[in-house]
Amino acid sequence: MKRIFTAAVVLAALAMCSVAAAAVVTLKGTWKETVHSNALGGALNGTWAVKFANGAYHVTESGHPIVHGKFTIKGSKISLKDTGGSGACPGTGVYKFKVTGNSLTFKLVSDKNAGCVGRRDVLIAGTFKKS
């Protein structure tokens, strides 16, 4: 009986580790979305792509580099810290994310810098699809 209990505990622990690891790797790759918005006078309209790899991200709009930075994930929240690019925002934006199959959505948690309307509006505009 003790062996069965020990085996069950070990299996449960391994399952939790694999779920936690899956959350980190689910974003790896390139995700695209087309934005149709009146925000900023339509300046955000276009096809946006975000590539996540090894704790870094790169954002392009219609193939043109816009911003790059570093990200961290804790549970279902991602923190984005832009480090460069013409669209870089100061401060860190925090968003909840959800991956369902090949779809990725974001919900704003906090992004306090008023100058980061672009980051916020592109991320929450709709659904990104894995490409």
pLDDT band at 15 (very low <50, low <70, confident <90, very high): very low
Burial 43-62 (b: 16+ CB within 10 A, else e): ebbbebbbbbeeeebbbbbe
pLDDT for 60-69, tens place per residue? Answer: 999 999 999 9
Which residues neighbour 31 within 8 Å (Cβ) at sequence distance 6 or greater?
Answer: 49, 50, 51, 52, 104, 128, 129, 130, 131
Fold of 2-130: Lipocalin (2.40.128)
Q: Are 122 and 35 in contact (CB under 8 A)?
A: yes
- Most confident option among 7-11, 18-22, 36-40, 49-53: 49-53
Q: What is the pLDDT of residue 20?
A: 44
Per the CB < 8 A criterion, the answer to whether 47 and 36 are in contact is no
Per-residue pLDDT, 10: 35
Q: Grade residue 37 by pLDDT with cuts at 50, 70 and 90.
A: confident
Beta carbons of 37 and 125 less than 8 angstroms apart: yes
Q: Give the model's confidence band at 26: pLDDT under 50 very low, under 70 low, under 90 confident, else very high.
A: confident
Phi, psi dihedral angles at 39 (to 5 degrees): -60, 140
